[in-house]
Amino acid sequence: MAKHISAAYQPLLARIGRATKANRELAMMLAATEWPTITDYELFRKVQVLYESGKKLNLRHHHATTRDYKRLHQQLRNLGVLASDPDYGKSAYRILSNPDRPAEEICCSVDPFCHVSHLSAMQRYGLTNRRPKSLFLTTPAPKTARTLTADRMMRDHGEDIGTRLDDIVPLKVVHHPKSVRKREISDFRTAHPGQWLPVRGSLARLATIGQTFTDTLTEPGRCGGMAHVIEVWREFGPTYLEEIVSAIDVAPTAIAKVRAGYILSELLGIDDPRVTAWQRFAMRGGSRVLDPSKPYAPEFSETWMLSTNV
C-alpha cells in the first residue's frame, strides 16, 4: 500500500521539489482527499490534523495556530499546490493535483450546507424530461446559515470554542457566484432547506425524492411551473406516495399540505387517511391558490379551501 501511494504521488512530489516535510505531507493529504476545491476552514482542519499527527515534521508546536496556517497556506500557493478557484475567488482554492469536477460537485464541496434541488433534482430522479439551463441549488437563509456554521464549528472544535476563536479559522457563509464551471447557478435561500442525501460516488448532495415533490408545491416556478408539476404528480405521485407523505408531514408550511392533499385526493383519487388528515390545514375564507404565479380563479375545492387556478 505504501509503495502504491508513493508511486501515485510521485508527480506531485516532483513538482513541489524541495518543499519542507510539512509542506510535502500536507500536499499529499490534499491529493488524497480527491477534492477539487477546499475552503480556508477545511484547509485549516487539515493543518490541525497535521500538527496533531505526531510525525517528525520539524513543527514548532503540537497545535496549529492561525499564524501557522497562514504560513503553510502561502507556501502551498507558492509551490503550485493551491490556487484561487476560478469561480469562487478567495472563498475557495483549487487543489491543482486533483481533477476538476462538474458544477454541482464544486458548489457542494465549497458550501457544506447547500444541495441540488427543484428542477435539477427532478431531472436527476427522472421526474421530468426537461433539461434545466441553470443548476438549481437550495441554501440556508443567512440567519439559518449562521446557526449551522456555529453548530458545525462547535462539533469540530469542542464546546469551549468561544474561548479559542483567535486560534481557529472560522467557517464562513458561502455566497455562490452567478456561474460555476460555465454553468448558471440559480440559488434559492430559505430558512427551511429541507431534507437531502449524498450522491453516491460524488461530492454532490441531492434533495430527497420526498423533498423534491414538496419543493414542487412550495416553489413550482423553479420546477417548470404548476402545470408541469401536476403532470409530474399524475405520473409519479402514486409511485412515490410513501416518500411524499413522509416529507409533506414534516413540511413547515401549511400550503404544501393543502396543495398535496388536493392533488393526491381529488386529482389522483388516492384515499389515504394520512392525506385526509391534512384537511385540518385548509383555511376557510382564505385566498389560497394552487398556482401562486396566477391570479385567484372561481374554480374551487370546497374540501381543501383552494382555488384550483391551473
DSSP letter string over 41-86? HHHHHHHHHHHHT---S--SSSS--HHHHHHHHHHHHHTTSEEEET
Residue ending a domain, among 100, 135, 162, is: 100
* 194 and 243 share one domain: no
Task: Look at strands 179-180 and 183-190 and give their pairing.
Answer: antiparallel
Residue ending a domain, among 52, 71, 100, is: 100
* 157 and 108 share one domain: yes
* 95 and 109 share one domain: no
Residue ending a domain, among 143, 174, 207, is: 207
* 66 and 1 share one domain: yes
* 42 and 92 share one domain: yes
* 124 and 219 share one domain: no
* 226 and 262 share one domain: yes
* 115 and 96 share one domain: no
pTM for this prediction: 0.91
Domain count, the chain: 3
Residue 144 structural domain: 102-207
Q: What are phi and psi of 85, to 5 degrees?
A: -65, 140
- Comparing CA positions, the residue from 8, 16, 172 lying closest to residue 96 is 16
* pLDDT 10s digits, 236-265: 999 999 999 999 999 999 999 999 999 999
| Contact assessment for residue 171 and residue 221, using Cβ atoms and an 8 Å cutoff | no
* 18 and 89 share one domain: yes
* Total number of residues shown for the chain: 310
* 230 and 187 share one domain: no
Read off the amino acid at residue 20.
T
* 63 and 157 share one domain: no
H or E stretch at 206: strand 205-207
* 170 and 223 share one domain: no
Read off the amino acid at residue 11.
P
Q: Could you list the pLDDT tens digit for every one of the 310 residues in the chain? A: 334 445 555 666 666 666 788 888 899 899 999 999 999 999 999 999 988 887 777 676 678 889 889 999 999 999 999 999 999 999 999 999 999 999 999 999 999 999 999 999 999 999 999 999 999 999 999 999 999 999 999 999 988 887 777 789 999 999 999 999 999 999 999 999 999 999 999 999 999 999 999 999 999 999 999 999 999 999 999 999 999 999 999 999 999 999 999 999 999 999 999 999 999 999 887 789 999 999 988 888 999 999 999 8
